[in-house]
Amino acid sequence: MTTSFQQFGLSHDLLKSIKKMGFEEATPIQAQTIPLGLQHKDVIGQAQTGTGKTAAFGIPLIEKVDVSNAFIQAIVVAPTRELAIQVSEELYKIGYHKRIRVLSVYGGQDINRQIRALKKRPHIIVGTPGRLIDHIKRKTVRLEYVQTVVLDEADEMLNMGFIEDIEEILSHVPSSRQTLLFSATMPAPIKAIAEKFMNDPEHVKIKAKEVTVPNIQQYYLEIPEKKKFDVLTRLLDLQSPDLAIVFGRTKRRVDELSEALNLRGYSAEGIHGDLSQARRLSVLKKFKEGTIDVLVATDVAARGLDISGVTHVYNFDVPQDPESYVHRIGRTGRAGKNGMAITFITPREIGILDNIEKTTKRKMDKMRPPTLNEALEGQQKITIEKIRSIVENENLTIYKKAAEELLEQYDSVTVLAAAVKMMTKEPDTTPVTLTEEPPLPMKKEKKRSKLKRDFKGKENKKKRQSARSRGNHPISAKSR
Ligand SMILES: Nc1ncnc2c1ncn2[C@@H]1O[C@H](COP(=O)(O)OP(=O)(O)OP(=O)(O)O)[C@@H](O)[C@H]1O
Ligand SMILES: [Mg+2]
């Protein structure tokens, strides 16, 4: 059964924007939560990655905004800066014909610039928790007319590291507010926390056999740590992804991996929480435009980012918890497209694999590492495709004389083989060294939250709470 957007009784302006965005029918999570959102109900919405949760909260949010009212009427909180920007862009598109003013506020951007933008009286603010609190304290953001609060990636936001921030933000919003929580994952303990500050929430969970979308092929490769990098490059050669994301365990890992990939002739750049915000944004922009083919990232890029054209996700280091796995691989296979996810597992990490599969309710297929020859064949295939396309589409007249001359001296197969060789990226075995990053021990729920606090603390609360967030867990605080 399909649901058209007309069925929700939305205003003409919204329908016009939705049409312009190319949405023809509502996705299942949209079909179920838009009516609830419009009725001012609290909702916990859980649906697989890439299935349109942003518009599921964005559409009712924008429908309800009164444009003639110059107060902030809704806030959306997101765990990372890039996600806050992306969500605000999607809301801007949905609100385009209604002339909704949306502003994103996040750490790493000049606060005075944000204060100036706030003076233009946005209707909706999208922000990261730390920066939102900064603005609340400075009274540059006032929340007394807010009707709706959205926590995107709610489970991440309600993880121990963020909960105090979220509580603080909510304490400035009228208690008559509507609270909307969305994520692809919602572990039970976190859901319990969530319910405490919601008002009789409706739980909308899209019935699906698996937590991950079926259109992502999922593989794992069991290999020793030291062989991982060679196998990664062989896979890149064999599979020649349009755009690929390689997830690494730590910031140092990401730096070393992107450097090593460049050394072997791939165009890769890294993104993690220690880079300047300008740099983070420029790397992401280059990746979206296809100027670089491989984005190497920590979990800072695991949640919510919607980059079309990502065909492959490689978990160079196995994710620490099943939720992180779900979100990382969900960067591909979005909006019905196909994708492939490959997870590297060292022999001592096999237990983590079982744990992931238990949560996703799906077995990964075992993949054999490709040989050098297979990698070369993969690259040759690309060359042959290029040649085919040139033969069929381009005018070669001015090259024919040279070809004829060559053919007087050598046989055609040899000449062509030389041309194919020249155009083919051969597997490169330039030695590279990566510092070993031992996996963190498997953690129980509580400890895990604590670790995340340090990680996120570093990402978002660096200045405000550095003393507190550094003390707890040296491994993750230092290295992610
Ligand atoms: N009804 C629709 N029809 C077609 N495309 C849609 C529709 N709704 C959303 N999309 C597109 O699908 C893509 C994924 O949407 P979105 O980022 O909201 O997914 P998500 O469910 O929030 O995923 P994640 O769990 O990774 O955050 C976006 O490019 C979005 O524009
Ligand atoms: Mg999302």
Query: What are the domain boundaries of the chain?
Result: 5-206, 211-440, 445-474
Residue 58: CB within 6 Å of ligand 1? no
Question: How is residue 189 written in tokens?
Answer: 């303990």
State the DSSP code for 296: E
Rg of the Cα atoms in the chain? 24
Taking the centre of ligand 1 as the mean of its atom positions, its distance from the CA of residue 173, in whole angstroms, is: 28
Residue 335: CB within 6 Å of ligand 1? yes
Taking the centre of ligand 2 as the mean of its atom positions, its distance from the CA of residue 190, in whole angstroms, is: 18
DSSP lists the bridge partners of residue 303 as: none
At the second CATH level, the architecture of 211-440 is 3-Layer(aba) Sandwich (3.40)
Residue 27: CB within 6 Å of ligand 1? yes
| Pairing between β-strand 124-127 and β-strand 339-345 as defined by DSSP bridges | unpaired
Cα separations (Å) of 95 from 52, 62, 151, 247?
16, 6, 19, 34
Q: Which residues of the chain have pLDDT under 50?
A: 443-480
Q: Please state the φ and ψ torsions of residue 441, each to the nearest 5 degrees.
A: -65, 150
Q: Which amino acid is at 283?
A: V
In this structure, which ligand is nearest to the CA of 21?
Answer: 1
Residue 430 is predicted with a pLDDT of 86
Residue 334: CB within 6 Å of ligand 1? yes
CB 73 within 8 A of CB 124: yes
Nearest protein Cα to ligand 1, atom 5: 23
Residue 331: CB within 6 Å of ligand 1? no
Taking the centre of ligand 1 as the mean of its atom positions, its distance from the CA of residue 435, in whole angstroms, is: 37
Residue 440 is predicted with a pLDDT of 65
Cα separations (Å) of 150 from 126, 146, 188, 350?
9, 11, 19, 37
Q: Rounded mean pLDDT of the chain? A: 90
Which of 19, 29, 51, 323 is the pocket-test mutation for ligand 1 (most atoms within 8 Å of CB)? 51
Nearest protein Cα to ligand 1, atom 16: 52
Taking the centre of ligand 2 as the mean of its atom positions, its distance from the CA of residue 467, in whole angstroms, is: 32
At the second CATH level, the architecture of 5-206 is 3-Layer(aba) Sandwich (3.40)
Residue 442 is predicted with a pLDDT of 52
Which atom of ligand 1 sits closest to the CA of residue 331? Answer: 26
Residue 458: CB within 6 Å of ligand 1? no
What DSSP letter does each residue of 262-286 carry, written as one string?
A: HHTT--EEEE-TTS-HHHHHHHHHH
Which atom of ligand 1 sits closest to the CA of residue 27? Answer: 1
Residue 469: CB within 6 Å of ligand 1? no
In this structure, which ligand is nearest to the CA of 52?
Answer: 1
Residue 107: CB within 6 Å of ligand 1? no
Which of 14, 19, 23, 85 is the pocket-test mutation for ligand 1 (most atoms within 8 Å of CB)? 23
pLDDT in tens, 211-268: 899 999 999 999 999 999 999 999 999 999 999 999 999 999 999 999 999 999 999 9
Which atom of ligand 1 sits closest to the CA of residue 26? Answer: 1
Nearest protein Cα to ligand 1, atom 2: 23
CB 122 within 8 A of CB 103: yes
pTM of the prediction? Answer: 0.90
d(CA 400, CA 347): 55
Residue 273: CB within 6 Å of ligand 1? no
In this structure, which ligand is nearest to the CA of 58?
Answer: 1
Taking the centre of ligand 1 as the mean of its atom positions, its distance from the CA of residue 180, in whole angstroms, is: 17
Sheet holding 310-315, edge to edge: 268-271, 294-297, 243-247, 310-315, 339-345, 216-222, 365-366
Which atom of ligand 1 sits closest to the CA of residue 29? Answer: 21
Q: Do domains 5-206 and 211-440 have the same CATH topology?
A: yes
Residue 80: CB within 6 Å of ligand 1? no
Taking the centre of ligand 2 as the mean of its atom positions, its distance from the CA of residue 328, in whole angstroms, is: 12
